[in-house]
C-alpha cells in the first residue's frame, strides 16, 4: 500500500535530535506514511544511522544522499520531487511529534478543498508546555480540540503539511532563498494568492527545538537579512493596523470583519481595540483586546503608545479621539484614518 503522506526530513548532522525525531514518528504516527530523508552531507555517524534506517525499514524509509550541504530549501524540494503521495509533510529533524499528529493534520486538510497548507499547534506558534511539563502530557490536553483549526497568515516550515493540489498549482519552494528563511512565507503567500488557506490544526502538536540547525550556520544573520529583503521586495513589508471600535452595529461589524480578513490574508497584522466583547474572525494575525467602557479611550491610548513595534495605520470612528491620537503622532508614528 502506497503512503498517504511522505514525511520529508532534511538532515545535516544532529544525530541525537534526528534519532529522537524518528523515534517519536515511529511511536506516535498512525496515519499511513513514508519517511524521505534528504541527507545533506552529514558526517559519518549520522550518515551510518540513516543508512541503517533505510536498510531495516524497507519501503517505509527512502534515503537520498547529497555530497554537499545544499541547504533546507533545495533539500525540501528534492523530497517533494521524489514524492507522489497525496500529501507531503516537511519536518525539521529537531522536532518531536506527538500521538495522532499526522492523522489530525490530514483530517483538517480534508475538511475543505481550499485548505492547502497545515501547521500543527507548536511552541513555534505560541502553544508552550509549562516549565517541566512533558510534551506528550501537554499534547494530550490539546487533543480535546481535534477537528478545530485557525487560519494563519503564513505557515512555518518546521512541520508543514502540503496538499498535492497546492504543489500542482504553485510548484515548489523558490531556491533563491538559499539555505533557508522566508521560503515558507513566500510559498504561503503564493498559495493564498491562488485561493488556498494556511491553517493550524489545533488538536495536533509538534514540539520544535527552535533554530537547532541554523544555530550551526555561520552565515545565519547575513542570510536572514538577505532573504528578508527578497521577500519584502516581492510582497511588501507586512503592515501593522489597529482599529478602535467605540460602538458597532451589524453593518459596521460586517464591514470591519471583512477588512480584518482581507488584511490578515494579505500577511498583515490587525489589532482590534473594542469597547466590550467583539466577535472577530479566527485568524492568527487578528488580535482582539476587549476593554471596559470606563476610560476606554485612555486605555487604548496607553496600549498604542507603549507598543515597541509601531502601527502603520490606526482606524477610528470617534472624531475627538482621532484628534487626540493625531496630537501624539510624534510618538506612535501611525497615520490616523476614519472608517
What is the rounded average pLDDT of the residues 65-81?
96
Pick one of 3.40.50.2000, 3.40.120.10, 1.10.10.10, 3.90.1150.10 as the CATH number of 240-338.
3.40.50.2000
pLDDT digits (tens, 9 = 90+) for 320-338: 999 999 999 999 999 999 9
Q: How confident is the model at residue 250 (pLDDT cuts 50, 70, 90)?
A: confident
The DSSP line for 206-219 is EEE-TTTTGGG-TT
Q: How confident is the model at residue 245 (pLDDT cuts 50, 70, 90)?
A: very high
- For residue 332, the number of C-alpha atoms closer than 13 Å in the C-beta half-sphere is 25
CATH class label, 5-234? alpha beta
pLDDT digits (tens, 9 = 90+) for 100-131: 999 999 999 999 999 999 999 999 999 999 99
Domain ranges across the chain: 5-234, 240-338
Q: How confident is the model at residue 1 (pLDDT cuts 50, 70, 90)?
A: very low
Query: 55 pLDDT exceeds 60?
Result: yes
**What are 43's strand-pairing partners?**
none
- By CB neighbour count within 10 A (0-12 exposed, 13-18 middle, 19+ buried), where does 46 fall? buried
Q: How confident is the model at residue 219 (pLDDT cuts 50, 70, 90)?
A: confident
What is the rounded average pLDDT of the residues 196-214?
87
Helix (H, G, I), strand (E, B) or coil at 114: coil
pLDDT digits (tens, 9 = 90+) for 143-187: 999 999 999 999 999 999 999 999 999 999 999 999 899 999 999
Query: 215 pLDDT exceeds 80?
Result: no
Per DSSP (E only), the strands in the chain are 5-11, 33-40, 61-66, 87-91, 95-97, 115-121, 149-152, 159-163, 197-208, 240-245, 269-275, 286-291, 313-316, 335-338
User: For residues 323 and 1, which has the higher predicted lDDT (pLDDT)?
Assistant: 323
First vs last C-alpha separation in the chain: 57
Query: 48 pLDDT exceeds 90?
Result: yes
To which residue does cell 487560519 refer? 151
pLDDT value at position 277? Answer: 85
pLDDT value at position 212? Answer: 55
Which of 165-169, 175-179, 276-280, 304-308 bottoms out in mean pLDDT, i.e. has the lowest?
276-280
Output the pTM of the full model.
0.92
Which of 186-195, 199-208, 275-284 bottoms out in mean pLDDT, i.e. has the lowest?
275-284
Amino acid at each position: 500500500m502506497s503512503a498517504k503522506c511522505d514525511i520529508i526530513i532534511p538532515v545535516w548532522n544532529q544525530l541525537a535530535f534526528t534519532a529522537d525525531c524518528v523515534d517519536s514518528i515511529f511511536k506516535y504516527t498512525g496515519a499511513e506514511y513514508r519517511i524521505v530523508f534528504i541527507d545533506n552531507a552529514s558526517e559519518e555517524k549520522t550518515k551510518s544511522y540513516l543508512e541503517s534506517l533505510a536498510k531495516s525499514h524497507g519501503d517505509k524509509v527512502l534515503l537520498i544522499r547529497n555530497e554537499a550541504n545544499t541547504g533546507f530549501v533545495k533539500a525540501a524540494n528534492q523530497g517533494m520531487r521524489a514524492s507522489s503521495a497525496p500529501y507531503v509533510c516537511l519536518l525539521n529533524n529537531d522536532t518531536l511529534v506527538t500521538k495522532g499528529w499526522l492523522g489530525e493534520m490530514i483530517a483538517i486538510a480534508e475538511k475543505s478543498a481550499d485548505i492547502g497548507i497545515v501547521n500543527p499547534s507548536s511552541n513555534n506558534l505560541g502553544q508552550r508546555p509549562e516549565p517541566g511539563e512533558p510534551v506528550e502530557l501537554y499534547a494530550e490536553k490539546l487533543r480535546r480540540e481535534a477537528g478545530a483549526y485557525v487560519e494563519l497568515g503564513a505557515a512555518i516550515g518546521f512541520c508543514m503539511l502540503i496538499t498535492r493540489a497546492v504543489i500542482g498549482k504553485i510548484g515548489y519552494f523558490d531556491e533563491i532563498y538559499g539555505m533557508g528563511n522566508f521560503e515558507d512565507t513566500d510559498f504561503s503567500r503564493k498559495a493564498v494568492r491562488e485561493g488556498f488557506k494556511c491553517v493550524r490544526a489545533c488538536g495536533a502538536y509538534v514540539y520544535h527545538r527552535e533554530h537547532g540547525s541554523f544555530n550551526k550556520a555561520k552565515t545565519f544573520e547575513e542570510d536572514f537579512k538577505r532573504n528578508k529583503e527578497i521577500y519584502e521586495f516581492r510582497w511588501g513589508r507586512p503592515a501593522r493596523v489597529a482599529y478602535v471600535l467605540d460602538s458597532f452595529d451589524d453593518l459596521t461589524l460586517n464591514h470591519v470583519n471583512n477588512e480584518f480578513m482581507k488584511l490578515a490574508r494579505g500577511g498583515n497584522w490587525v489589532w482590534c481595540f473594542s469597547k466590550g466583547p467583539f466577535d472577530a474572525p479566527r485568524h492568527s494575525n487578528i488580535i482582539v483586546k476587549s476593554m471596559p467602557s470606563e476610560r476606554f479611550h485612555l486605555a487604548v491610548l496607553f496600549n498604542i503608545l507603549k507598543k515597541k513595534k509601531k502601527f502603520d495605520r490606526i482606524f477610528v470612528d470617534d472624531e475627538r479621539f482621532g484628534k487626540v491620537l493625531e496630537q501624539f503622532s510624534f510618538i506612535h508614528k501611525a497615520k490616523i484614518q476614519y472608517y
